[in-house]
Structure 1
């Protein structure tokens, strides 16, 4: 029978391990392929929103000055200044007019040129780098304007070395074109509004050269190596003056939907971007938003870790249940064998009594009554032993694990909220706390399992500050919105005692939990933790302002399964377990009333007690 059960157990264990391995393989497969791609694709709508905002900003900035050149070109003063015979006063008036409009409209520069491209008046006429006397007939905005059209051009200023967007318009005198008006708009403010940690924005011309970028070191760089013909076209208009126009170290590494996945080598390291782009045909530009994929990949890694953690916890739970069932089957089998042996012995005793019946007729009735009573007592003892063993085990585990499990659930809910909000650091901190609480529950289970056969575990020097802090973290989930204050009055500096840290934490959690139960329904609940020191001992006092311990029950309060709470509100094990734990530490746990329940835990200081073996 036992061999059959062991074979069945081995088969079930092998099936469980195979299922766990398959689950891990599925999670890792999805986590290295499908999940990162899905996470990256989920960031594309954010990039599209940023792209729409960037294009709207550019179009709005250009539209702001769209009609200004034509309006200014109608000013007769400018046409008069373009006359080769214009007196100095007329040219001076044109200079002042241009400077006034320049300041009022927030322009970078404004100037007028004759048909040969020579500048005769400019807003910077009184500056060291004045445009007056310089020729700009090589610029497209000049040739478009003198041809009677509207000039539009983005370039690096050959005199000022500053980037700008140029507007050109023809200046007419009595219907005849006599020159061109040029306005230059600064674009630095647009770039400053683009800088963010999650994405980069670039604007390229029809040759693929970056002239606007959220990173200054990307300006005047090409997305791909330029051909000789492209370099010749750029040089003819002196668009970027002497800029080398080197290509960016950009490499295409994949595709996410309709969007490119690019890899870029930067001084701070290699970064990967998903590119969302849209053309601006009215300006001959292409606006591109580069979204960093690192946050999305981190999110995918976190999801894989959480899935693996869930698989591990599930496997641990299944293993625990299976182990518990196996132990229960073994215990039942042992009880059946013991019962069979006991019944055999009873039968033998009955036979002996029957053989002696002839000599002990006077004792027959008494012996038969004793035999019946013995059988009833034996059955009661067997049943009581079963219930006591099962009840103590399940009740102790339920009582001692209830508080950490509540804290685990609270931290897990907070971690889920942080993940949904993208707050990875806080989520990671909560998961770390959950792992710590899981270690504590493992230690609690180990302590309860060894409670009967090894009560005096090896003690160590424990700081009371750390134990109280950890206990407050475990019990925090029960506070919630309850109107209960917890005050701690611990002296500064280390408060070292001889104890086991996990079991000592159990005692403090049980005492605070009992105080919370006693304060149920009170609006002014107060729990206070204070310390009293002597040369050899440290006394931790946990008090509350509840109803206290009923008179006459102080001697029974530490008995197992004794409780002053209502039915269903407690098992009566917490104080019994706490009493035995403190006793194992060589200390004392006592109770008294002082306007409420007061529990005092007295432990030896390290210098006053050697380690208990």
Structure 2
């Protein structure tokens, strides 16, 4: 027996719930069970698929055979009816040439072709042909020349035509009955020729011939192809006109030569049908495909001999109905098989489901009994846990009160820190205007002593402007603390640069300052800060732009202190949407470890008392509030480079005029 751990009702039960003894359970690896299940399922699926294939194949074979047998029976019935009709017609006219040859007038005219006897013979043959309803009746002398015919009145009369080449003449002259189908050499109409020898005094003196038109024959039943072939296999009667005078099989050259010699089919080209045998069936039946390609029609071809003459009747029945029936039966059988399999699968799953429900119900009852036993045990555990939770709640309440007091102290400390930052910012921003005031006041005193009152007046006006500027700086420092939104204004860049350079004029002594302007991709040109650029405005107010420029230029002047040939380059790059003011120096540059922290408040690399580390932080804040940015980097040729990017503001007419008057 092993101890089975109980799953606790809460996290607090784990330590207090005692372990229970339970029976040992043997486990089978899950991957082995899964592999066995997968193997059984694959075998079952393979068996079902094999059964489906076998059932469909058997259904197809049985339906196909039944359909072919039905087609053969129907073809046999149709062939019997057609053969009987054809043979009765041929037998009805088989004795007519003999009767004609027995008439004394016919015998006399063949021996002595007197004109009056020939005329009488023509009228006799015309009368016999009309009553017998034959096509043409005529007699031929022993030398092959026709001397009388029923069509003696027609332009294409057979009288005077040589028939020595015709097989039916040769057969009759040898004492037999001639039977022949061919195309007439005079009328060019196909017909069946029956001939009998004409004897007088036991000697053959000529031949009597009857021609029958059998073109009516295929029209008796044209629902499906019906053919009649001669002894050579040439189709001379067909319900499909395009198949006439074609052969069911290729003919040997000797047979073709014989047909041409007898002019049996005149000038008609004798070519085989485009038929191929796909399957040979017992009992003179084949499955043939008529034409090339997969869509060519297929027929069940059955053949029977007509006896005398040596003709064959060929019936062709389309097997498309058999294919459709076999396909439909196979599909229905397949659906039925799949339905049975699905029903069996459903029945098996239902049985498994019922067993699972019964097993689950038994397990649930057992678990319910165990739960009732454990409720009492858990009640005591929950009571103890409730007491512990109450103690924890009291402790947390006391900790929250202490946290609120600490937060109040932190808020007060942050207020004091903000006041300190503001005071430090005011001190940093006012240092440069105060230095300029002192410089202007010293110059004013000198101008007054010299009597240069105009220059003194200008300095006093500058001192007034600086005083006003210092007041604005004190008001604008709240942007760093309060993050106020800037006013929508246009600041002329040239004027801001001129004022900033004027404020730093004393520190710029001995420093070379280069100013360039690049407008919309044009080549750089020198920038004259005293000239008016009415369309070179930034979206900012004058004071903020000058404040940023003074801070950046002041840092550049600090960087070139002590550098031989100090130089500061100011380039303005204008595009349709932005203005980028770059300030570069030839100082030592910015250390790599300083760049990430360059715009942090109170971060400075200067010595104590030379800077508070707020200039770049305030400048960056001003640039962001105006919708722009201030970046710093080291130039490839050495030194540091600061770029102030602001949105460009197109000047209106009033602003352009005011800028032009500066």
| TM-score, normalising length: structure 1 | 0.51
Q: Does 1:294 align with 2:320?
A: yes
Could you report, residue by residue, the CA deviation over 1:372-413 in whole angstroms, capped at 9, with x for unpaired residues? Answer: xxxxxxxxxxxxxxxxxxxxxxxxxxxxxxxxxxxxxxxxxx
- Could you give the per-residue CA deviations for residues 61-120 of structure 1, whole angstroms, max 9, x where no partner exists? 2111122221222222333443545233x4333323322222222211111122222222
After superposition, residues 257-406 of structure 1 pair within 5 angstroms as 257-258=282-283, 259-265=285-291, 270-343=296-369
Structure 2 residue 102 is the aligned partner of structure 1 residue 77 = no
What whole-Å deviation, never above 9, does each CA across 1:185-217 have from its counterpart, x for those lacking one?
1111222124223xx332222222222222221
The CA distance in 2 between the partners of 1:75 and 1:316, in whole Å, is 86
Question: How many residues get paired?
Answer: 349
Match of 1:458 in 2: none
- The C-alpha deviation readout for 1:102-155, integer Å capped at 9, x for no partner, is 222221111112222222222212222211221222212222323333222111
Who is 1:68 aligned against? 96
Call closer, same or farther: CA 1:188–1:78 in 2, change over 3 Å: same
1:189-208 mapped onto 2 (5 Å cutoff): 189-197=216-224, 200-208=225-233
Q: Aligned to 1:243, which of 268, 281, 288?
A: 268
Whether the aligned pair in 2 keeps the contact of 1:203 and 1:210 (CA below 8 Å) is: yes
Give distance in 2, aligned partners of 1:129 and 1:98.
16
The SS at the match of 1:43 is helix
Matches within 5 A, 1:216-235: 216-235=241-260
Q: How does 1:431-450 map to 2 (within 5 A)?
A: none
Shift of 1:181: 1.2
1:151 maps to 2:178: yes
How far apart are residue 168 of structure 1 and its match?
A: 0.9
SS in 2 for 1:273: strand
1:43 aligns with 2:68: no
**Which stretch of structure 1 is more off in the superposition, 291-300 or 267-276?**
267-276
In structure 2, C-alpha distance between the alignment counterparts of 1:251 and 1:196, rounded to whole Å: 22
**Relative to 1, partners in 2 of residues 1:59 and 1:328: Cα closer, same or farther, differing over 3 Å?**
same
SS at 2:148 equivalent = strand
1:155 to 1:218, Cα distance in 2 relative to 1, 3 A: same
* Cα shift readout 1:469-515 (whole Å, capped 9, x = no counterpart): xxxxxxxxxxxxxxxxxxxxxxxxxxxxxxxxxxxxxxxxxxxxxxx
Q: 1:55 aligns with which of 83, 89, 92?
A: 83
Partner in structure 2 of residue 252 of structure 1: 277
- CA gap of 1:63–1:178, structure 2 versus 1, over 3 A, is same
- How far the C-alpha of 1:310 sits from its partner, in A, is 0.8
Q: Give yes or no for contact 2:63–2:325 (8 Å, CA) kept in 1.
A: no
- Select 1:161's aligned residue among 177, 188, 195: 188
Equivalence for 1:525: none
Residue 348 (structure 1) shift: 8.7
The separation in 2 between residues aligned to 1:105 and 1:267, in whole angstroms, is 49
1:110 pairs with 2:155: no
* Equivalent pair of 2:59/2:333 in contact (CA under 8 Å): no
Q: Once the two structures are superposed, what CA deviation does each residue of 1:267-320 show, in whole Å capped at 9, x if it has no partner?
A: 995222333223334212222223333322222222221121111111221222
Q: 1:350 to 1:247 in 2, by over 3 A?
A: same
Query: Secondary structure of 1:253's partner?
Result: strand
Q: Unaligned 5+ residue runs, structure 1?
A: 352-613
**Aligned-partner SS, 2:324:** helix
Measured in 2, the distance between the counterparts of 1:178 and 1:340 equals: 123
Distance 2:215 2:336 in 1: 50
Q: Please report the TM-score for the alignment, with normalisation by the length of structure 2.
A: 0.47
Mapped partners of 1:204, 1:49: distance in 2 = 19
Does residue 141 of structure 2 align to residue 141 of structure 1?
A: no
Gaps of 5+ in 2: 1-24, 378-662
- The change in CA–CA distance for 1:60 and 1:256 in structure 2 (over 3 A counts) is same
Contact 1:41 1:257 survives alignment (8 Å): no
Name the CA shift for 1:343/1:180 in 2 (closer, same or farther; >3 Å).
Answer: same
The question of whether the paired residues in 1 share the 8 Å contact of 2:60 and 2:329 is answered with no
- Structure 1 residues 266 and 13 mapped into 2: Cα distance closer, same or farther (>3 Å)? closer
Task: Sort the Cα spacing of 1:251 and 1:85 in 2 relative to 1 into closer, same or farther, 3 A.
Answer: closer
1:400-419 aligned at under 5 Å gives the runs: none
How big is the shift at 1:41? 5.0
CA distance in 2, matches of 1:25, 1:223: 38
Cα distance change of structure 1 residues 147 and 291 upon mapping to structure 2, 3 Å threshold: same
Deviation larger for 166-175 or 295-304? 166-175
Q: Find out whether 1:122 has 2:149 as its counterpart.
A: yes
The Cα shift of 1:166 comes to 0.8
SS in 1 for 2:226: strand
Does the 8 A contact of 1:39 with 1:296 survive in 2? yes
Aligned-partner Cα distance in 2 for 1:60–1:316: 62
Deviation at 1:182, TM superposition (A): 0.7
The alpha-carbon distance between structure 1 residues 339 and 154, as it changes in their structure 2 partners (threshold 3 A), is: same
Does the 8 A contact of 1:108 with 1:186 survive in 2? yes
- 1:187 pairs with 2:189: no
- Post-superposition shift, 1:178? 3.1
Contact 1:252-1:261 within 8 A present in 2 as well: yes
Please state whether the residue corresponding to 2:309 is helix, strand or coil.
Answer: coil
Q: Which has the larger radius of gyration?
A: 2
> Partners of 2:262 and 2:128 in 1: how far apart?
27
Cα 1:29–1:147 shift into 2, 3 Å:
closer
Question: Any idea what the Cα deviations from partners look like across 1:20-43, whole Å, max 9, x if unmatched?
Answer: 211123245446777646643553
Q: Does 1:211 align with 2:236?
A: yes
Residue 50 (structure 2) aligned to one of 15, 18, 22: 22
